[in-house]
Amino acid sequence: MKPFPHKTTSIGNGVSFGTIPMERFQSSLIAVSLIVPLSSETVTENALVSLMLGRSTADYPTYRLFSRNLNRLYGAVAGSSLQKLGDEESLTFAASTIDSGLALHGEDLLMESAKLVLSMVLHPLIEDGAFAEETFRLQKKYLADSIRAEINEKRRYAVNQTLRLMLGDEPGGLPLYGFLDKLEKITPQSAAEAYARILRECRIEIIHVGTGDAKRIQPLFEEAFRDGFVEGRNPCTRPAFRPIPAPSSVKTASDDFEVVQSKLCIGYRVNLTPGGEELSAMRMMVAILGGTATSKLFLNVREKQGLCYYCGANLDRTKGIILIDSGVRPDKVEAAKEAIFREVEAMQKGEFTDEDIRFALLSLQNTFRSVEESPFSVESYYRAQKVFGIKETPEDQCRKLSAVTREEIVKAANMLQLDTVYLLNGTASEGEAEEDCDGEVSYDG
Amino acid sequence: MDKEILSSERLKASYIRYRHPSGLSILLYPMEGFSTAYGLFGTNYGSVDTCFRKKGDPAFTEVPAGIAHYLEHKLFESEDGDAFKLFAATGAEANAYTSFDRTCYLFSCTSKFEESLKALLTFVQHPYFTEETVRKEQGIIGQEIRMYQDSPGWRVLFELLSCLYEHSPVKIDIAGTEESIAQITPELLYTCYDVFYNLNNMVLAIAGNFDPDAAMQVIEQNLRDTPPVEIERAPYNERREAIKSRAEIQMDVSLPQFYIGFKQRPAEGESAFLRQQFELEILHELLIGSTSSCYEKLLRQELISASFGTEVFAGRGFLVSLFGGDSENPEAVWDALMKEVQRLKKEGIQEEDFHACKNAIYGRMVRALRDVEDSATALLSAEMAGISFFDSVQMLADITPADVARRLETDFDPDTAAMAVVRPRG
């Protein structure tokens, strides 16, 4: 058995430095994640701060200078991202470059990218207690645009609506980009205060993946995050997992949009914990139901009955939610809904073959064994493991999956509690594509 | 069989190229330390290839729009059922895609590589089309077409292409239209299959964790002989200028989305065409990439945001410099871009900026070689462009500021440009 590859050491108060050496990538990724609780009060300002830090720094005060530096570093990829981890969020700042050995002029790319990440996290464009006016204005507008842009892609919009209905005000249900009304009230000063708060309360996970000797960059991070790097630091602790109670009755909702394809989303609750006992069986259940190209939803609802263009099931282990989402012709919604329910019932009655089980296992194992194929997926996998306090390699997960029995899968299927049915109703009839100003329709319905 | 080992000292990488007697080009790139193997089987055939003939045929055959994509869907079906089932038994993840000028079938696996490879070769080489199965697919593909119709980004792209192209099928959705796919028959599918799925027109690329000798054994046993074919595609006589300069539609979007495009004449010869694309990529960055003064100015004026991007939109018989994103005022972005083209033509290219752009593209190519999926795709793309991947890296290295300045003069005439916008309903 291979040892757990993620070696971590504590290098400060709530600061962990870890490395996952992988020669094969011939590139390195350095990621610093600031992990903070999700709350409706802070989620919007956290998003704005993350955006501002990830696009310019005191060392590279405009995005143009920031980008020039990336080009100089052989098209390095750097910036910030947001990710939900249960009831917490991760503000991650990362830089990835090719291995120094491939540089044309002998640059020390590992060191340069470490410095760049630190510049994003610790040298923001703040002067006299306020973010620089320009970066504030631009990123605030960009965030507002991004919040409003949710409506542009209807599949994503429908999934988000369903999750909002299911999770209400739960921290884990908050939108990572936050809320427009909260955004309006943020000022350059309050954003700077939010930045200071984030540094005070966050746990910090630093992860290096790929080539290069992490020992060379570790002192840089030790120095940067030494005790007292921010005043009054009191890192948050991981909140206990809270199961969300099932609703007393099934929620239904729908919205009309002038689009040709409707989106039907069906949300179930399951009583799970991120690293819990039932997780492997639930993964198998979801794969058989709707996780692969031979799954019941794909083969029966899409291929045989032709009711949906896409129809699949997804498990969110951090919130205990299974979401089935599909794209349907408006006149086939009821038929699709019934067909989906039939497949769920079939799972609950154990109506699936040993071949279904074998295919689901092979498919899930293939997915887990592919985690270690890119520095980005390695980083995000092991970061989540660390945050949830789990120590399992993808290979460990494969072993657990292969031990799952038919009975456990049936049991998992019977844990499903229907919570919400949401329909994004397409009202544009076929052939009624909107015309442009001079009357030419180039996209036939 | 013709075997070559292609290698690059600078990139510390090498791969094997076979020219199989069947006509198939085979590229094998084993990668140490990875657990995944990725196989990509592609044909030089996409949505723009709707009018063609085999050398010697008296007349061109014209087929309905969307047939290449339809064929891709139908190939997954055989007399014994669904090809996905073959892969389900190996645990591999299988998929396929059709672009404007290419169709590819692929799998990604972490075990049972030989079985997966055999499955890939088998289903792509065994077409099975009947009246019934072809009819059944119309519903599913009709839904796919409708789904894309609801996507603002996709819609606005085709609005732009319709401004630029009068005859080329590039202006039609890759999946066709509901009317065009209604005309597809098993006979037409077989006709297209026989011409374009000839192994002389195909490339197989494998990258990642696999043994090249074992792969060759599976390949040898599973290739169907096809007689050599020379395909002639009917040329589309497009005028140099844009057909019209503006198009506009309305959808449920939060902000206007736009595409600006300059239609360009693809350089003669595959290798010259590839070089032209590199030159354009550098020019895009110099004109309005995130390191340019123009981008910075537009950003400051809130006319563009991080959503803005550029693309060299290129394929067999078409070439467009694309610029697109969200903006409250797309006309102002158009004006700024046109001015910037003029300014750069007059003031010339800064050497330092030019070299930084080349560095960045070089870095991206180097990275592609360390990713199982990206490397197979990059090797296959280079091969289809008639060149080795390493030669394409060298081609990039050889480009000079003067080349790029010349390209700016010839390929950015305002008469060839157009803009399409999708605006919020109102």
Q: Kindly state whether residues B290 and B380 are assigned to the same domain.
A: yes
Pair (A204, A61) in one structural domain: yes
The structure tokens listed for B49 are 């290839």
The whole-number average pLDDT for the span B382-392 is 95
Mutation choice for A interface testing from B76, B82, B110 by most A CBs within 10 A: B110
Q: Which amino acid is at B317?
A: G
Asked if residue A238 belongs to a domain, the reply is: no
Q: Cα distance from B21 to chain A (closest Cα, Å)?
A: 34
Distance separating alpha carbons of residues B104 and A118, to the nearest angstrom: 42
- The whole-number average pLDDT for the span A100-123 is 94
Winning range, highest mean pLDDT, from A420-434, B221-235, B327-341: B327-341
Residues A198 and A127 in one domain: yes
Overall number of domains in chain A: 2
> Catalytic one among B72, B77, B340, B383?
B72
What percent of chain A stands above pLDDT 70? 96
B191-225: pLDDT as tens digits: 999 999 999 999 999 999 999 999 999 999 999 88
In a shared domain, residues B159 and B302: no
Nearest to A327 among B147, B171, B371 (CB): B147
Q: Is B239 part of a structural domain of the chain?
A: no
The answer for residues whose C-beta is within 8 angstroms of residue B159's C-beta and 6 or more apart is A436, A442, A443, B247, B248, B249, B259, B420, B422
In this structure, the answer to whether residues A118 and A210 fall within a common structural domain is yes
* Residue B167 belongs to some domain of the structure: yes
CA A298 to chain centre: 24
Same domain, A285 and A201: no
Residue A180 sits at the chain B interface (C-beta within 8 Å): no
pLDDT tens per residue across span A314-335: 999 888 999 999 999 899 999 9
Nearest C-alpha neighbor of B216 from the set B83, B114, B125: B114
Tell me how crowded residue A223 is: count the other CB atoms within 10 A of its CB: 11
Residues A48 and A134 in one domain: yes
Q: Which domain-ending residue is among B188, B204, B233?
A: B233
Q: Are residues A139 and A271 in the same domain?
A: no
B211 and B114 inside one domain: yes
How far from B34 is each of A22, B169, B218, CA to CA, in Å? 10, 40, 21
At A76, list the tokens: 């390095």
| A4 and chain B in contact, CB less than 8 A | no
What value does the mean pLDDT of chain A take?
92
Give yes or no: residues B26 and B113 share one domain: yes
* Interface contact A22-B33, CB threshold 8 A: yes
Contact call for residues A316 and A162 (beta carbons, < 8 A): no
Collapsing DSSP states into helix, strand and coil, what is residue A370? coil
Q: What is the DSSP string of B136-162?
A: HHHHHHHHHHHHHHT-HHHHHHHHHHH
**Which one of A224, A239, A271 terminates a domain?**
A224
Q: Per the CB < 8 Å rule, is B290 touching A63? A: yes
Task: Note whether B82 contacts A62, CB cutoff 8 Å.
Answer: no
Q: Which residues of A110-124 are buried (b: 16+ CB within 10 A; e: fewer)?
A: bebbbbbbbbbbbbb
* Long-range pairs of A108-112 with CB within 8 A, sequence gap ≥ 24: A109/A28, A109/A73, A109/A74, A109/A76, A109/A212, A110/A28, A110/A30, A110/A211, A110/A212, A110/A213, A110/A216, A110/A217, A111/A216, A111/A217, A111/A220, A112/A73
pLDDT exceeds cutoff 50 at A102 = yes
Whether residue A346 is contained in a domain is answered as yes
Residues in A closer than 8 angstroms to B149, CB to CB, are 259-261, 433, 443, 445
Whether A243 and chain B come into contact, CB under 8 Å, resolves to no
Q: Do A104 and B359 touch (CB under 8 A)?
A: yes
Find, in chain A, the residue whose alpha carbon is nearest to that of B142.
Answer: A309
Residue A14 has pLDDT above 60, yes or no: yes
Residue A115 within a domain:
yes
- Is the same domain home to B179 and B93? yes
Asked if B212 and B298 sit in the same domain, the reply is no
Say if the Cβ atoms of A22 and B362 lie within 8 Å: no
Q: Looking at the domain assignment, is residue B238 inside a domain?
A: no
Q: Are A244 and A267 in contact (CB under 8 A)?
A: no
Identify whether B345 is part of a domain.
Answer: yes
- Domain span at B70: 2-233
Q: In chain A, positions 64-83, which contact chain B (CB-CB < 8 Å)?
A: 64, 67-68, 70-76
CATH number assigned to the domain comprising residue B211:
3.30.830.10
Looking at the structure, do residues B272 and B215 belong to the same domain, yes or no? no
- Does the residue A60 lie in any domain? yes
Q: What is the mean pLDDT of residues A181-196?
A: 98
Indicate whether B222 and B309 sit together in one domain.
no
pLDDT at B207: 98
Q: Is B241 within a domain?
A: no
Say if A135 falls within a structural domain. Answer: yes
What's the 3-state SS for B165-176? Answer: CCCCHHHCCCCC
| Interface membership of B370 toward A (CB under 8 Å) | yes
Kindly state whether residues B87 and B171 are assigned to the same domain: yes
Which helix H or strand E contains B67, and what residues bound it?
helix B67-75
Q: Domain range for residue A344?
A: 251-426
CB contact under 8 A, B88 and A302: no
Tell which B residues from 383 to 412 touch A, by Cβ distance under 8 Å: none
pLDDT in tens, A253-289: 999 999 989 999 999 999 887 777 899 999 999 999 9
Q: B293: which chain A residues are within 8 Å (Cβ-Cβ)?
A: 64
* Residue among A293, A303, A309 minimizing CB distance to B143: A309
Counted domains in chain B: 2
Beta bridge partner(s), residue B205 = B27, B40
**Beta-carbon pairs below 8 A across chains A and B:** 214
Find residues 183-242 of chain B whose CB sits inside 8 Å of chain A.
none
CB proximity A115 to B under 8 Å: no
Separation of alpha carbons B15 and B281, rounded Å? 26
Residue B88 lies in a domain: yes
CATH number at residue A383: 3.30.830.10
What pLDDT is stored for residue A429 in this prediction?
65
Nearest-CA distance A71 → chain B (Å): 5
Task: Write the residue in B88, B152, B364 that is nearest to A363 by C-beta.
Answer: B88
- Whether residues A200 and A278 fall in one domain: no
What's the confidence (pLDDT) of residue A430?
53
Please tell me the least confidently modeled range out of A103-117, B7-21, B75-89, B154-168. Answer: B75-89
Q: Do B363 and A76 touch (CB under 8 A)?
A: yes
Instruction: Give the chain B residue nearest A152 (alpha carbons).
Output: B253
Of B202, B233, B264, the last residue of a domain is: B233
- Same domain for A151 and A12? yes
Confirm or reject contact between B293 and chain A (CB < 8 A).
Answer: yes
**Residue B4 known to be catalytic:** no
- Shared-domain flag, residues B21 and B109: yes
Do A175 and A261 share a domain, yes or no?
no
Same domain, A391 and A332: yes
Same domain, B283 and B319: yes
Residues B322, B177 share a domain: no
Identify whether B336 is part of a domain: yes
Task: Quote the DSSP letter at residue A57.
Answer: -
pLDDT (tens digit per residue) in A31-66: 999 999 999 999 999 999 999 999 999 999 999 999
**Final residue of a domain: which of B183, B200, B233?**
B233
Same domain (yes/no): A200, A289: no
Name residue, tokens 């072993």. A399
Q: Among partner residues A260, A436, A445, which is closest to B247 by beta-carbon distance?
A: A436
- Compute how many other C-beta atoms are within 10 angstroms of the C-beta atom of residue B237: 8
Mean pLDDT of B182-189: 96
B281 within some domain: yes
Distance of CA A40 to the CA centre of its chain: 18
